[in-house]
Amino acid sequence: MPVNDVNLPYGVVRNSLAGATTVSGPVVQAGAIHGGLHLHGPSALPTPRQLPPCPRRLIGRDNDLAALDRSLSDDVTAADVTVVVTGPAGVGKTALAAQWLRGQAGRFPDGQLYADLRGYASGGPADPTEALGGFLRAFGISPVPENLEEGTALWRSLAAERRIAVLLDNASTAAQVRPLLPGSDHTVVVVTSRRRLTGLGIDGAVFRPLTPLAPEASTEILAERVGRRRVVDEYEAAAEVVDACAGLPLAICLAAARIAARPAQSLAATAEILGRGTERLAALNVEGEAVEDLLDASYGVLAPDAARLYGLLGLLPFPGFTLENAAVLADVEPAEADRLLDALIDVHLLEETGPERFRFHDLVRLHAQAYGRELRDGEAGRTALDRVVDWYLASTTAAEAVVSPSHRTLARDYQARSHHPARVFADDVRALDWLDEERDRLAGVLRWCEELGRPAAAWQLADAMWPLFLRLRPARLWVEAHRIGLRAARAVGDRAGELRMLTSGGNGLRNAGEGEEAARWFTEALGLARETDHPLAQADALYGLSQTHRMADRLDEAAACLRRVVELREAEDYLRGSALARLAYGEVLLLAGRPAEAVAATERAHRELASIDDHYEAARAMAFLGLAHGMLGAYDLADTCLEEALAGFRARLSVHWEARTLEFAGQVEERRGRPDVARARFEQSLARYQEARATAEAARLADRLAAYADDSVVTRRPDVPEE
């Protein structure tokens, strides 16, 4: 009991405890108490449940959820883990993280916290102190420290003995996240970001990149949102909608909301709007929520040089590009280009698809194109685009000079100066390999030349791509390139270019099975060559006409044309050209059933081609010699020739002619009376034709093999290929 000391001044009270008395809980020291006094024991801290809402069912993310499950130990008392979920805007990072943490709620009974770090908001990212204050207040602590260090220390003390989960959404940098990590056992932190946040690897974080959804999952989301019957009834239109959304869940949900709001409107109407490239982003906007806004936010954090490159890359005529492309476009060294590309990858505006290979997501590319259009008409932007055209023209011409040196005779016109020299190729194999790798981008640049108003570059690039057409035989591209090239050469009045396009393009038409149109092109070329008094061009046109005669089974006319070609080329001391004409003459003799004469013509062609180290054409001559010897019954000699030809084509990556030679070998085995071996050769040939995407030839071999299934193998006249 308190005791008053009479010796103290009036009003001063000294309280003391005597005996075994103890005090627990709140203590009030007072001289006198009037009214009621209510004392309560300590109250429990609240248990926050702050996770944002998420879809009832997360479609297409089973593998991602399983991967997040694997990041946790089976032991609930195990050390904490930080998981960083990264991906492009709208890919569903927050939904995945929230869904997963909800599923783990029993593991974290002391609370689930959420903070939006606003990494891409217009007002800038949130200060970590703001998020710390929210966490502390969620546990009933107020006031909270204003100093970051004090707040971090208090947060970690609070979390030390608790099992909690934290979702840090839309993080900007590792430095923004680090003060918010509890740093204690049995806690989990999930960070979502459009950046990679590789710096958190120092803190032991594990990373889960999130990619766009597969078409099947996207279709399922659409069906769930707009009704399965509508999707089934308009399946093709639904597929177009899904394709336009390019696997972004946000885009799919926005498109679905648009469709659901217009129940009387067909899915085809929405598909048609989304199919208009430049309008697609604007269409994916519902009540202020838009894919375009998210992409704008990611773009807004880029440095000026990276932002400029982003827009220029959007103007390229192909979605996938190389480090070289970016360096040429920006006119910087590869190391600097790599730094700029890394800045785009860091905010998931760009995907790295392989070593020095990159691509835009479809919707991101539309966004980049919008910024690129602002640069295109300026002098610096136009010069950048010209640099890309010139680099491809120069590099393709360098490959042409290595693979087909005799074809490299026409001038090239360049418009932009660049620090980046053309590619250099050590040999024809490397040059051809580059042409094959770049064929889609070359096609894009060729079409682009028309759009950019570079007609001279258009026909010159088509001309420089000759080795690609001759060796790899992409039939459709061969024809398309020369149609573009012919228009362009005529537009600038370049007669030499027009003549080259007619003869080279005629070969493409012939190999594509367009014999009548090919004959018209060759006839025009012959007239133009005579008009301009160009003997070698006359020979080229006659050579092409001989091939169209051969296709039409007019063998006498074909032979007559080739004899004249030999005369014209020999008069001009064009040894390689006359050798090729003799080789073609040997082919015609084989078709005419005159193998002995064919051997004589083809052996001379082989000697001449070998003397000038034209190994590819020499291998073609050896293939025909093998077929000719087989027709004469000299099977061992035929085998030797065909094996030598196969080795030559394999060394030079000529899949098409490897397939042809295997087909010849099958024909020889038929004559030899070994149908099982012949069938094996034809099967090998078919596989190579299919690899080379030679549709017509593959169909022919398939028919031939079908004859074996019917036990109706017949010996037939050899099928002799076009040049």
Per-residue pLDDT averaged across 676-688, rounded? 94
Whole-number pLDDT of residue 57? 82
Q: What is the pLDDT of residues 156-212, one digit of tens each?
A: 998 888 889 999 999 999 999 999 998 877 789 999 998 889 899 988 899 999 999
Helix (H, G, I), strand (E, B) or coil at 376: helix
Q: Kindly tell me if the per-residue pLDDT of 9 is higher than 60.
A: no
Q: Which residues pair with 116 in a beta bridge?
A: 169
Alpha-carbon distance of 649 to 621, in angstroms, equals 12
What average pLDDT is seen over the chain? Answer: 87
Q: Kindly tell me if the per-residue pLDDT of 154 is higher than 50.
A: yes
Q: Kindly tell me if the per-residue pLDDT of 696 is higher than 60.
A: yes
Q: What is the dihedral of CA 613, 617, 621, 627, to 10 degrees?
A: 140
Burial 243-259 (b: 16+ CB within 10 A, else e): ebbbbbbbbbbbbbbbb
Element holding 209 (H helix, E strand): strand 206-209
Confidence of residue 79 (pLDDT cuts 50, 70, 90): low
Q: Kindly tell me if the per-residue pLDDT of 609 is higher than 90.
A: yes
Per-residue pLDDT averaged across 500-512, rounded? 94
Task: Tell me the CA distances in angstroms from 703 to 106, 170, 513, 583, 696, one per residue in order.
Answer: 65, 59, 18, 28, 11
Whole-number pLDDT of residue 433? 93
The more confident residue out of 161 and 604 is 604
CB 194 within 8 A of CB 348: yes
The more confident residue out of 711 and 415 is 415
Per-residue pLDDT averaged across 666-685, rounded? 94
Q: Kindly tell me if the per-residue pLDDT of 410 is higher than 60.
A: yes
Q: What is the pLDDT of residues 537-556, one digit of tens each?
A: 999 999 999 999 998 899 99
Alpha-carbon distance of 190 to 187, in angstroms, equals 10
Confidence of residue 584 (pLDDT cuts 50, 70, 90): very high
The more confident residue out of 151 and 22 is 151
Alpha-carbon distance of 718 to 292, in angstroms, equals 60
Q: Kindly tell me if the per-residue pLDDT of 406 is higher than 90.
A: no
Q: Kindly tell me if the per-residue pLDDT of 379 is higher than 50.
A: yes
Q: What is the pLDDT of residues 447-497, one digit of tens each?
A: 999 999 999 999 999 999 999 998 888 989 999 999 999 999 999 999 999
pTM for the predicted model, two decimal places: 0.70
Q: Kindly tell me if the per-residue pLDDT of 121 is higher than 90.
A: no
Q: Kindly tell me if the per-residue pLDDT of 285 is higher than 60.
A: yes
